[in-house]
Structure 1
Amino acid sequence: MAFAYPESRRGVFERFSLKARPGEFVAVLGPSGCGKSTLLNLLSGFLRPQSGHITIDGAPVVPEHPALGYVFQSPNLFPWLSVLENVRFGLRMNRRGSPQEQRAVALNFLRLVGLEEQAEEPPHRLSGGQRQRVALARSLALEPRLLLMDEPFAALDAMTRAALNDELLRIWSSLGKTVLFITHDIDEAVYLADRVLVLGLPPAGITAEVAIDLPRPRDQRGTRANRLFAELRERLSEEIAKLTARNQRVI
């Protein structure tokens, strides 16, 4: 795959290739400006590559592909709708079942993320972490096979972020979705993923691919105390440091 913005002299991606196995949790790291968010926009069909193909199960990816779910840094909830109606929104737009069936599905996914009791609340009464859980429930309600997550916890405090990392792993383990998770946080990538990809500077390619062989299920204290966790974090830190230094020389 290759992609360049029309106004840019330099391509963002050239000869780029990425595959994710069903049920795999893949994290993508890279220095600022390496094209992480552009990659997600390509994978979601919002941008189209100049050459190459992006497919799911052999079918081309298009915007609002039924196999894709999205969770972004901002939850983007509708303030005039209740929590339940925010989760139901995608089901309603896609005409998935009757209104009663849609509400039942929405309530089921709110239960999954621990917000069943807040179903009738407006979003402004929720904390930042709770709003992000609603966004996750809204995506999962459409039953995507691939969940694209663009730094979904970056704006949250450390304690909330750790709690949502654990919540995400619990849900991922329960549902078996394939996840592509963009992050700038090395610890988060190591804690969550089966595999971490490091993107280089444009024209970007994968400069490192690191298998995360930490045992599952994972927990904050035990996993982070594992010697392998520290070794993996150090290896990825060195990769990012090399890319950052190279970028500064280019500037």
Structure 2
Amino acid sequence: MTKLSVNINKVATLRNARGGNVPNVVEFAKDAQRFGAQGITIHPRPDQRHITFKDVYDLKPVVITEYNIEGNPNPHFIKMVLDVKPTQVTLVPDADDAITSNAGWDTIRHKSFLLEVISEFKRNGIRTSVFVDPVISQIEGAKQIGTDRIELYTEAYAHQYALGNTFAIKPYTDCAVLANQLGLGVNAGHDLSLENIAYFKQNIPGLLEVSIGHALIAESLYLGVENVIQMYLNKLK
């Protein structure tokens, strides 16, 4: 079964919009796991507009499933990850002012940098994943930098699927097949939803984990978070 890691950034966004501690990010993470989530994902950004640096540390003792920290590996991020030692770190090449992640790494161009960063995390017992576009050469490049896993950037798939173009899954399938052959684990995330997750899962061999936040939180406003998590788990079986 593919694991569901719930990205709780939007819970922090809602909290920060009002100030105070409602909704409580730590309690939400505990509840999400109690409802069946098999991981918690956060993406602390330099401006702390949703997940704060304090949240990163506060969540560590309550995440009893898998703790996945995403972000651009600048010096502060690297230090924070090494302090917390999550289950997994997912490297994302987003700009400081990006609204959301909008591209994968060029694993060939940034080979030396990524190799150095990944080596440091792995020396500290932290599983590594690299956010990549569904491009064969980038999967080959990912193998060369020593990452444990890749995370396929799924925005293009989600957009095309909504238009009725199911053929948009093909580059993702091809990349997953190659990753499996190269011994790389396959994760995926970005704009996955209840509408498109089942078809994605059916067509991606060896899909280990999906990280879903924006859609899951939005859907939960209508359906309730416990119900939504159970619905995802059923679709991922």
TM-score range normalised by the length of the shorter chain: 0.3 to 0.5
Structure 2 length normalisation: TM-score?
A: 0.42
Q: Which has the higher contact order (CA 8 A, sep 6+)?
A: 1
Largest Rg, 1 or 2: 1
Structure 1 length normalisation: TM-score?
A: 0.41
